[in-house]
């Protein structure tokens, strides 16, 4: 009989696989990249900010994880194609893709600026679509793959002052289900994690006293999430053994926020 470590490794281990983490220089992306790397995967850290990319690669390598950094702009299909080709040249193929780039801005509805709206949609929604398109094209001929997109509790439930962000994240969950259906028979799975509140660069600026109070009231666990609390779900959804029959799912990791009455 296999030891429990061997059994768990058979279910969740990612050795011999390559993961591209876009937005991998950010708070959640770095944590997810580290988790996937510790589970055995080689990691391509992709981000539009070179310094963050380099820093993330250094941190992964310090953990003993094989990693490279590649600059990318998710709003630009050519840039994504270049990332994909470089990632394949390095890793042999791309088994897992994590779309973790994202931006946000907060205003009252009447102050929503159309250019800011377009920018948020371009990174969060169009960027996720383009990235899926570019990587799926190759996954179709390399034995399949698994994609993890990042939604939000706001994909489903209204918050205040983040109208473009909310619409983009609802779109990400919708896109995830449509891609899952389209490619299920071709060996490609596509799921989303919808995180609750994990203070990071893109959302910390929105956290005034009133908002924090509302978040804590609305989160039954009455605390923020720690990015490490997303890792096990990411591994489950990306793993070709443990996650083999899961596709099109939007998995909420939110301390109960979306099940809460308030
Ligand atoms: N932190 C949270 O509480 C939370 C909650 C729900 C969802 N999310 C989502 O999780 C994802 C990661 O967020 P985070 O909190 O780690 O934020 P973050 O700002 O730390 O990371 C986002 C990363 O995306 C990169 N990025 C931005 N625009 C890009 C572009 N055009 N091309 C390539 N990379 C780009 C940034 O450089 C940054 O490193 C985002 O999609 C965010 O919306 C975060």
Q: Up-side HSE of residue 192: CA atoms within 13 Å toward CB?
A: 30
Q: Which among 23, 155, 159 is the best mutation to test ligand 1's pocket, defined by most ligand atoms within 8 Å of the CB?
A: 23
Q: How confident is the model at residue 235 (pLDDT cuts 50, 70, 90)?
A: very high
Domain 18-252 has CATH 3.40.50.720: yes
**Alpha carbon of 3 to ligand 1 centroid (Å):** 38
pLDDT of 201 reads 76
- pLDDT mean across residues, the chain: 97
- Is the CB–ligand 1 distance for residue 123 below 6 Å? yes
Atom of ligand 1 nearest to the CA of 73: 32
pLDDT tens figures, 12-46: 999 999 999 999 999 999 999 999 999 999 999 99
Q: Which of 260, 262, 197, 256 is nearest to 226 (CA)?
A: 197
> In the chain, what is the greatest distance between 2 CA atoms, to the nearest angstrom?
64
Residue found under tokens 């990174």: 123
pTM of the entire structure? 0.98
pLDDT value of residue 25: 98
Task: Report residue 261's pLDDT band, with 50, 70 and 90 as the boundaries.
Answer: confident
Eight-state DSSP code of residue 246: -
Share above pLDDT 70 across residues of the chain, in percent, rounded to a whole number: 100
Convert the pLDDT of each residue in 94-147 to its tens digit.
999 999 999 999 999 999 999 999 999 999 999 999 999 999 999 999 999 999
Q: What are phi and psi of 42, to 5 degrees?
A: -85, 140
Atom 32 of ligand 1: nearest residue by CA position: 73
pLDDT in tens, 191-230: 999 999 998 877 888 899 999 999 999 999 999 999 999 9
Quick check: helix, strand or coil at residue 15? Answer: coil
User: Residue 75's CB: how many other CB atoms inside 10 A?
Assistant: 17
Q: Give exposure, 108-129, as e/b (b: 16+ Cβ within 10 Å).
A: eeeebeeeebeebbbbbbbbbb
- Say how many Å lie between the CA of residue 10 and the centre of ligand 1: 31
**CA 7 / ligand 1 centre spacing (Å):** 34
Residue 2 Cα to ligand 1 midpoint, Å, equals 39
Write out the catalytic residue numbers. 165
pLDDT at residue 204 in the model? 84
The pLDDT value given to residue 200:
83
Q: Atom 21 of ligand 1 has which residue's CA nearest to it?
A: 26
Give me the half-sphere count of Cα atoms (radius 13 Å) on the Cβ side of residue 128: 30
Q: Confirm or reject: Cβ of 254 under 6 Å from ligand 1.
A: no
């Amino acid at each position: 009989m296999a030891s429990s470590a061997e059994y768990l490794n058979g279910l969740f281990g990612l050795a011999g696989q390559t993961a591209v983490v876009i937005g991998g220089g950010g708070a959640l992306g770095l944590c997810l990249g580290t988790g996937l790397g510790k589970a055995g995967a080689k990691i391509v850290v992709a981000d539009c900010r070179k310094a963050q990319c380099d820093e993330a690669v250094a941190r992964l390598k310090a953990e003993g994880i094989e990693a490279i950094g590649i600059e990318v702009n998710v709003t630009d299909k050519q840039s994504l194609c270049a990332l994909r080709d470089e990632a394949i040249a390095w890793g042999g193929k791309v088994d897992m893709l994590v779309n973790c780039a994202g931006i946000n801005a907060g205003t009252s509805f009447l102050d929503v600026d159309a250019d800011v709206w377009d920018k948020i949609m371009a990174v969060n929604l169009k960027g996720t679509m383009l990235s899926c398109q570019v990587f799926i094209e190759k996954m179709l001929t390399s034995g399949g793959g698994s994609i993890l997109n990042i939604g939000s509790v706001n994909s489903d439930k209204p918050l205040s002052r983040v109208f473009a962000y909310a619409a983009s994240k609802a779109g990400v969950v919708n896109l995830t289900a449509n891609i899952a259906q389209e490619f299920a028979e071709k060996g490609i799975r596509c799921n989303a994690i919808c995180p609750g509140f994990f203070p990071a660069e893109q959302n910390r600026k929105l956290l005034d006293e009133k908002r924090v109070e509302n978040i804590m009231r609305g989160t039954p666990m009455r605390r923020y999430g720690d990015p490490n609390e997303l890792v096990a779900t990411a591994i489950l959804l990306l793993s070709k053994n443990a996650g083999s029959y899961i596709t099109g799912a939007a998995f909420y990791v939110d301390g109960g926020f979306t099940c809460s009455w308030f």
